[in-house]
Amino acid sequence: MNSPSFHDVEQLSAYLDGQLSQAEKTRLETRLQSDPAIAATLTDLRQARAILRRTPGRRSPRNFTLTPKMAGIKPPVPRLVPTLGWASAVAMVLFVFTLGTNLLGQISFGANAPMLSAAPMTSEGYGLGGGPPATDNSQVLPTPEPYALTVPEPTPSGEPRLAQPPAAPSSTKASQPIDFWIYAWLGLSIILILAALLVRLTNDQAFRRKVGSKRNQ
Amino acid sequence: MDEPALIRNAQHGDLDAFNTLVLAYQDIVYNTALRILGDEDLAADASQEAFIHAFRALNSYRGGSFRAWLLRTVTNACYDELRRKQRHPSTPLEPETEDGDEMETPRWLADPDGSPEELLDKAEIEHAIQHCLENLPTDFRAVVVLADIQGLDYSEVASALKKPVGTIKSRLARARLRLRECLHSFGELLPSAFRLEEERTL
């Protein structure tokens, strides 16, 4: 009686599982009847398999179901988000534009505004002595009433200055439309940003409610 | 349970469909991990990891046995866990009695099925099997767990472990032989009911 080779053990193990072809099975069954060592090995393998098949099954200690977070699922993007994404970008541009314009406005309409706004008045200002010599001084010197009231005091050097007061009212008139647009852009920017945030927040809350209700089911 | 439909829906991101599959397979997955790792907490962690990975890699499933595909995922998670364990070995805290003796895990107290004797028998078989499984090389252990404990056929085991059927056949034969020798050493410790049944089987 020879101890079975490893090939025999393999054949016996496959025989137990019904994995042999009909020819292999017949050949092995013939050997099993004549070789007690082979038969004993088959018994050993069968016992081992029987013990393993009786391994008590355990219930899983908890449910392994996945939450959206575990699965890496993010809240769905609402339809308006791409539009509002652009809206945010536009709002940002408008905001920067507004800020820039405002600063420029302060610079140009603050320090230089009187000079710039005074320019259209030069035809009248020339008459005060700052421009080219008038052909007829007598026609220019009697300035209209408002101007006459605002003519500055002569400078120590005796040279009359360019009339400042007329410049001030025209400066405020020029800055009014710009102020309007600044506030309009700023308002629009804020509205767009708030709308984007509101849609996002509403969507997130709806998603959480949906997930929460499914988990409670 | 319409498994193909659930798988299709899960592949399109339907988490509810996937969770239905999880509930159907979680016991098989957990038991496989438990027999390979021999530790309940590690097995639970590996099972959870396996399901997370399975959901993310679900599009790589191309038909065939879903059970085998899922068991491949959990087997890989167990291999990762074993490698981690090898790198960072730890000593488990065993509960002790007041005299300082190791306390037996009273699993039967928590099990509502069967009489205390039956449950004790079950616990003894389980202990013997787990001890012998842990003495096997990891590759052999995985084969025997999938084929003999989970009842997969050779082609399913081959698919789960990505090995040729010939390799599975060979490893299973070796593993059974070694297990028989190991279980033999328990001899009389194995429950009498079990031994009688074995005699009847013969």
Give the pLDDT confidence of A37-80 residue by residue, as tens digits: 999 889 888 888 888 888 888 899 999 999 888 888 776 666 66
Asked whether the ipTM of the predicted complex exceeds the cut of 0.85, the reply is no
Considering only CB atoms, which chain B residues are within 8 Å of A32?
none
**Residue, of A97 and B174, whose pLDDT is higher:** B174
Contact at CB, A17 and B153, closer than 8 angstroms: yes
What pLDDT shows up at residue B140? 93
Q: What is the mean pLDDT of residues A110-116?
A: 50
- A154, part of any domain: no
Considering only CB atoms, which chain A residues are within 8 Å of B194?
51, 54
Q: CB distance from B29 to chain A under 8 Å?
A: yes
- A63, part of any domain: no
Q: Express as a percent the part of chain A with pLDDT over 70.
A: 56
Q: Express as a percent the part of chain B with pLDDT over 70.
A: 78
- A73, part of any domain: no
Report in angstroms the alpha-carbon separations of A119 from A114, A162, A207.
9, 11, 62
The parent domain of residue A110 ranges over 78-121+164-216
- A65, part of any domain: no
Contact at CB, A46 and B202, closer than 8 angstroms: yes
- B202, part of any domain: yes
The parent domain of residue B117 ranges over 110-202
- pLDDT at residue B199 greater than cutoff 70: no
Distance from CA of A202 to the nearest CA of B (A): 22
**Residue, of B83 and A113, whose pLDDT is higher:** B83
Q: What is the mean pLDDT of residues B82-98?
A: 66
Contact at CB, A55 and B52, closer than 8 angstroms: no
Q: Would you call B125 exposed, middle or buried from its count of C-beta atoms within 10 A (0-12, 13-18, 19+)?
A: buried
What pLDDT shows up at residue A126? 46
CA nearest B42: which of B81, B89, B83? B81
- List B residues 46-75 in contact with A (Cβ-Cβ < 8 A): 47-48, 51-52, 55-56
What pLDDT shows up at residue A147? 47
Backbone angles phi, psi at A200, to 5 degrees: -65, -45
Contact at CB, B30 and A60, closer than 8 angstroms: yes
Task: Taking the CA atoms of B50, B5, B2 and A208 in sequence, report the sign of the dihedral they define.
Answer: positive
What pLDDT shows up at residue B106? 45
- B95, part of any domain: no
- A21-25, A200-204, B74-78, B185-189: the lowest-pLDDT one: B185-189
Contact at CB, A54 and B125, closer than 8 angstroms: yes
One-letter amino acid for residue A105 of the chain: G
CA of A4: which chain B residue's CA is closest?
B177
Q: CB distance from B163 to chain A under 8 Å?
A: no
A10 and A112 fall within a common domain: no
Q: Would you call A73 exposed, middle or buried from its count of C-beta atoms within 10 A (0-12, 13-18, 19+)?
A: middle
Contact at CB, A61 and B23, closer than 8 angstroms: no
Q: Show the DSSP H helices in chain B as ranges.
A: 3-11, 15-37, 40-56, 66-87, 107-110, 116-134, 138-144, 154-161, 165-186, 192-201
- pLDDT at residue A26 greater than cutoff 70: yes
A100 and A172 fall within a common domain: yes
Could you identify the residue written with the tokens 């829906």? B9
- A41-45, A177-181, A205-209, B16-20: the lowest-pLDDT one: A177-181
Distance of CA A207 to the CA centre of its chain: 18
Instruction: Identify any residues that bridge with B96 across adjacent strands, giving them in sequence order.
Output: B102
Q: Are A129 and A163 in contact (CB under 8 A)?
A: no
Q: Are B44 and B98 in contact (CB under 8 A)?
A: no
Contact at CB, B147 and A73, closer than 8 angstroms: no
A37 and A114 fall within a common domain: no
Q: CB atoms < 10 A from the CB of B52, how many?
A: 17
Q: Are A44 and A4 in contact (CB under 8 A)?
A: no
Distance from CA of B93 to the nearest CA of A (A): 19
Contact at CB, A64 and B27, closer than 8 angstroms: no
- A56-60, B31-35, B69-73: the lowest-pLDDT one: A56-60
- pLDDT at residue A134 greater than cutoff 70: no
**Residue, of A184 and B131, whose pLDDT is higher:** B131
Q: CB atoms < 10 A from the CB of B55, how many?
A: 22
Considering only CB atoms, which chain A residues are within 8 Å of B129?
51-52, 55
- B29, part of any domain: yes
Q: CB atoms < 10 A from the CB of A101, how many?
A: 17
Distance from CA of A20 to the nearest CA of B (A): 11
What pLDDT shows up at residue B113? 59
- A157, part of any domain: no
The C-alpha angle B174, B142, B78, rounded to 5 degrees, equals 150
Considering only CB atoms, which chain B residues are within 8 Å of A43?
202
Contact at CB, A73 and B13, closer than 8 angstroms: yes
